[in-house]
């Protein structure tokens, strides 16, 4: 899935338009992957190398040859499993989800969403490799909003993402979040933008 400079400009414009309706702030983050999953190639290459000698024993090779074959198999498997796509695929789903969940929380802090004056910031986070999407609302708005209200935004986001339309997914989620924020955090007096209106790419 690709996102162009034009897409990013559209998302920035959508954030500005949404924030005109509310005292809240919206931040969008798109990650290609939430982790490098560096342990996966090591684990699977080790397992492959440990299992490989058993069928080779039927050949009655000398022990030295078996050890040499095991080393070659380990190196070959390590190279094979080091492919970025395979690293993700070979990592258990629960572990991938945990990594994406942690990355979303880290981005919430890194983008200083909790530093807005009214604590009404909202993060829209997507990690493509894990097929993961999450909305995190700061405590000022989370206390006012039923969690079910964010599900519409997530549904709109994932529906378009499922069709390969990354930018359209963010635009739909921004519009849905704007509706929620407008109901629970009306504009009031907003002297300035507290957070950049942009899509962050990881």
pLDDT tens digits, 16-57: 999 999 989 999 999 999 988 888 878 887 888 788 777 766
What six digits make up the tokens of 180? Answer: 């929620």
Structural domains in the chain, sorted by start: 5-35+93-201 (3.10.310.50), 39-89 (no CATH)
Beta bridge partners of 132: 127
From the number of C-beta atoms within 10 Å of its C-beta (0-12, 13-18, 19+), residue 177 rates as: buried
- Confidence bin at 190 (pLDDT 50/70/90): low
The span from the first CA to the last CA of the chain, in angstroms, equals 14
Position 189 scores a pLDDT of 58
C-alpha triplet 63, 65, 70: angle, nearest 5°? 95
Interaxial angle between packed helices 63-81 and 39-51, expressed in degrees from 0 to 180 and rounded to the nearest 10 = 150
pLDDT tens digits, one per residue of 132-146:
999 999 999 988 998
Q: What is the mean pLDDT of residues 160-188?
A: 91
Name residues whose C-beta falls within 8 Å of residue 2's C-beta, 6 or more positions apart in sequence: 166
Q: How far apart are CA 131 and CA 158, in angstroms?
A: 9
Name residues whose C-beta falls within 8 Å of residue 198's C-beta, 6 or more positions apart in sequence: 8, 11, 12, 15, 28
Handedness of CA 83, 89, 92, 96 (dihedral sign): positive
Do 23 and 190 meet the contact criterion of CB atoms below 8 Å apart? yes
Q: How far apart are CA 93 and CA 105, in angstroms?
A: 18
pLDDT tens digits, one per residue of 56-98:
666 777 777 777 777 888 888 888 888 888 888 888 899 999 9
């Amino acid at each position: 899935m690709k996102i162009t400079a034009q897409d990013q400009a559209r998302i920035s414009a959508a954030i500005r338009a949404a924030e005109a309706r509310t005292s809240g702030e919206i931040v969008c983050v798109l990650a290609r992957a939430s982790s490098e999953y560096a342990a996966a190639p090591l684990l699977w290459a080790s397992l492959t190398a440990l299992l490989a000698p058993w069928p080779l024993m039927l050949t009655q090779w000398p022990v030295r040859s078996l050890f040499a074959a095991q080393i070659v198999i380990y190196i070959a498997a390590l190279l094979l499993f080091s492919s970025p796509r395979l690293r993700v695929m070979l990592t258990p789903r629960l572990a991938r989800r945990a990594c994406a969940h942690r990355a979303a929380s880290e981005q919430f802090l890194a983008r200083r969403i909790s530093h807005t004056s009214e604590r009404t910031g909202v993060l829209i986070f997507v990690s493509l490799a894990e097929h993961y999407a999450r909305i995190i609302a700061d405590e000022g708005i989370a206390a006012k909003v039923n969690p079910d209200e964010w599900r519409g935004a997530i549904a709109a986001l994932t529906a378009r993402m499922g069709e390969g339309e990354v930018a359209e997914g963010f635009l739909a989620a921004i519009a849905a979040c704007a509706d929620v924020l407008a109901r629970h955090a009306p504009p009031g007096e907003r002297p300035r933008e507290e957070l950049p209106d942009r899509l962050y790419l990881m």
